[in-house]
Chain A
Amino acid sequence: MKNSFVELHARERAIVLLDKGSNRELIDPYDNMISPHLMPQGIVPESDDGIIIEKGTLEGKKLVIISIEGNFQGGGIGEVSGAKIVAALEHVLEDNKNGIEEYPIIILDTGGVRLQEANYGLLSISEIQNQIVALKKYVPVIGLVPGRVGSFGGMSITNAIMSYIIGTNRARIGLNGPEVIEQEAGVREFDSSDKDLIWNTLGTTQRQATGLIDEVIDDDIDSFKKAILSAINEKKDSHKTERTDFYLSLLDSLDPSEKLNISSYQKIFDNVKEQEHHLPQAVASDKKHTKSRGRQWFEQLTGIKNADSDVSTVLHAKKDGFEYIAIVPDENNPFPRVRHGEVGLLEGYTVASVVNDLINSEKNTPKEEKTPIIMVVDVPSQAYGYNEELIGIHMALAASANAYAKARQAGHKLIAFVPGDAVSGGFLAHGLQSNRLIALDDLDITVQAMSKASAARITQRTIAELEEATKHVPAMAYDIENYQKLGALYTLIKGVKGYDSDEASISKVRAAIDAALADDDDETLKFRYTNKIAKESGRKATNQIRKMMDEQWDK
C-alpha cells in the first residue's frame, strides 16, 4: 500500500503526521538512552528504547507525538521508555497550563508492560495514566492504534483512559493476550490458535460496535491526519471511563456463567437500560466469607466483622474519617473467572462508582477536609476470561484507575496498604494510583506484572530460567523486599505478616497509615521516583530521562 500508515516504523509514523521539516525529536538515538535492564538479562537494547518523541506542527497546530515501536520487544514499556512518555506528557501539561496550546498524540503499538522490566513497566504505566487524567482537562489526549501489535496489557487500560481513540481494521485491543488467557484459564476459555476468533473478538470492528474504540479509519496517512485534526478542532472526548452506570447495568443484565459470543453480546449491549448505581457501605454480618488477607485487614481496620456488601467482591466503608476500599475473593462468585480476588469487570466498575460517589459528594469540600482513601490491596491479578475480553475488561480497570487518579488530583489523599498480592492489571486498577504505598514485609506477598507461568511462556524461557533471572534483578522481582529497592514503597512495615490479627500489628499498620497521610502533601506520583532509594538506585534512569527532557524541551 502506497500511503500505508500501519506499515511504517514508529519514527516514520510520527514524522509523516507532522508538517514537513517541523519535527524535532527529543532524547533521540544519538543520546543513546538505552534501557539499563536489558543487557544484564542478555537482551539487545535499542538506542531510543522503543519510544520516539517528536515535537512539531500539523497544519500549524502544535503536536507532541509519542510513538511506540511495536517491533522492538513488542512495544513493551520499561523504565526508560516509560519515563520518556511520562516526562513528555508532563511538559505538555505544563505548557497547556501556561497557555501554550499543545496536543499530545500517543501512537500505541504495544503489548503493555515489558516483562523483562515488569515492575518498572507497571509503575511507569500508572504514572502515564496519571498524566493523561490531568491533561484531559485541558486538551483531548488522542490515541492512535494503527495495528500490528495493537494495544494490550496495561497500555490497553491507558488507551481507555485517553479522550479519543482512532484505529484501523488492522488493529486489536484487549487486556490479556489470547496466549495468556489460554495459559491462565485453559484452551476452552480462549483458544489462542484460533485466529478468526481472536480477530472477531479483539479486532476494531467489534471494538467499535461496542464502544471500545471511537473511530476506525482507512490505513492511509492522510486519513490519520484528517482524523487527528478533527479530533483536535472538535475537542473530541468520548469519556469512556465515565460509563460506569452503563456497564454496571449491562453486567446486571447478563448471566455470568454463560459464555458469550459476538452476536449474543451485541444484543445485550444494544438493550442496556442504564440505571444509576451506588454501592452502600459494607455492614457487619454473621455470614461466612472467603478468607483473604485483603478482607481480614479491611475488617481489622474498619472494625466491621464479617463485612458484607451488595457486591460481594468490593467492600467499602467510611471509618474514623477515612474511606477504606478493598477488593476481595468470593469463591461462589457467579463470575467464574473472578473467584480468587481478581479484579474483573464488576470490580473495576464498582470501585470506580464508589470513588466517583465520594468525589462528587465532596466536590465543594475544601481540599484539606476531603476524605482520604485507603485502598487495601490484595489482588492476585486481573480476571482472565473470554467474556471479560469481549466486554472489554481493560475499560473496567481504566474506570477505576481513572477515578482514583481524579480523586487524588482533586485533593483526596490516596494511600495503598498492601497486606496481600499486588499483581498486574489488578494493581493498576487498585493500588498504583496512590502516591504512598505501604506494604507488609512478608515474603508471601507477590508483586508482579504476570504469573511466572505466563511470563515464562511469553518471554520464551523455562520457569527455572525465569526464577534465576528474577532473583538478582529488582526490575523483575516477585517479592516485596526486592520491590522496595525500586523506591516504590513509602513504608515497608517490619514484623507484621499478612494474616496477623493481634492488636499490636493492627496499631503498627494504623500508625504507618497515619504517618504516610501526615507526610502526603502533593497530588502527584512523584514521591516514588524522588525519594532517596529511587534517586540513588531504584529509579536512576527515570531521573536521568526527566532531566534530559527538561533540558531539551524548549531548545
Chain B
Amino acid sequence: MEKLNFKFKGTEQVKNKAHVGVVASGDLEVIIKPTTNSESTLNIVTGSDGFKEVWQSVLKRFFDRYPLIADFEINDFGATPGVVNLRLTQAMEALEDEK
C-alpha cells in the first residue's frame, strides 16, 4: 500500500460533490468535493506500490482536459490506468448530474 499526494492547477471551481466506484479488485473509488483552495488536491491510497509516475501522467492528462478545482480522495485497489481514467470521467459526469 502506498499513499500519494498530487496538486493540479485548474480554472473551474467545482460546486457539487460526487462519488463513484468501489474498492474492488482492479477497481477504485473516487470522491470529489468542492474546495476553497485555488488548486486541486488529490489524496490517493493505492494497493499497488511504485506507480507514482503512472498516476502523475494519467492525472495530468485528465486535468489538461478538465481543469477542475476540487478535493479528490481516491482509494485504489490495483486499477489499470484505463480504469482510473474511466472512473475520473464518471465522477465528473456525476458532478454534472448533480446540477
Contacts and interface: CB of A to CB of B under 8 A. Distances in A.
Contacts of A73: 23
A72 B47 CA distance: 13
Chain A interface mostly helix, strand, loop or mixed?
loop
Given A30-B31, A30-B33, A39-B1, A45 B75 contact: yes
Contact of A71 (B19, B24, B31, B73): B24
> Which 6 residue pairs are nearest across A and B when measured between Cβ atoms?
A71-B24, A46-B23, A42-B1, A29-B19, A44-B47, A72-B23
A32 interface: yes
Nearest to B44: A44
B28 to A, nearest CB: 9
Interface string A47-64: 100000000000000000
B22 A9 contact: yes
A441 interface: no
Interface of A: 9-10, 28-30, 32, 34, 39, 42-47, 69, 71-73
B22 A29 contact: no
Nearest to B3: A39
A26 to B, nearest CB: 14
Contacts of B45: 39, 44-45
A73 B25 CA distance: 9
A29 B29 contact: yes
B1 A44 contact: yes
A47 B75 contact: yes
Contacts of B17: 30
A457 B22 CA distance: 24
A44 B23 contact: yes
Contacts of A29: 19, 29, 31
A28 B23 CA distance: 15
B75 A46 contact: yes
A69 B19 contact: no
A71 B25 contact: yes
B46 interface: yes
Interface in B28-51: 29, 31, 33, 45-47
A29 B19 CA distance: 7
Contacts, number: 49
Interface string B69-99: 0000101110000000000000000000000
Interface residues of B, number: 18
A39 B46 CA distance: 10
A44 B76 contact: yes
25 contacts: A9-B22, A29-B29, A29-B31, A30-B17, A32-B31, A39-B1, A39-B45, A42-B1, A43-B47, A44-B1, A44-B47, A44-B75, A44-B76, A45-B75, A46-B22, A46-B23, A46-B29, A46-B75, A47-B29, A47-B73, A47-B75, A69-B22, A71-B22, A72-B22, A73-B23
Contacts of A30: 17, 19, 31, 33
Contacts of A43: 1, 47
Of A9, A28, A44, the most chain B CB neighbours within 10 A belong to: A44
A48 to B, nearest CB: 9
Contacts of A9: 22
A30 B24 CA distance: 18
Contacts of A69: 22, 24
Nearest to B25: A71
A29 B22 CA distance: 11
A23 B24 CA distance: 24
Contacts of B73: 32, 47
Given A71-B25, A71-B27, A72-B23, 8 more contacts: A30-B33, A32-B73, A39-B45, A44-B23, A44-B47, A47-B73, A47-B75, A69-B22
A72 B24 contact: yes
A351 B26 CA distance: 45
B77 A44 contact: yes
Contacts of B33: 30
Contacts of A47: 19, 29, 31, 73, 75
B42 to A, nearest CB: 14
Contacts of A71: 22-25, 27
Contacts of B23: 44-46, 71-73
A30 B98 CA distance: 15
A42 B33 CA distance: 25
A9 B29 CA distance: 12
A71 B23 CA distance: 7
A33 to B, nearest CB: 12
A154 B75 CA distance: 27
Given A30-B19, A71-B22, A72-B24, A44 B46 contact: yes
A507 to B, nearest CB: 50
Contacts of B25: 71
A159 to B, nearest CB: 22
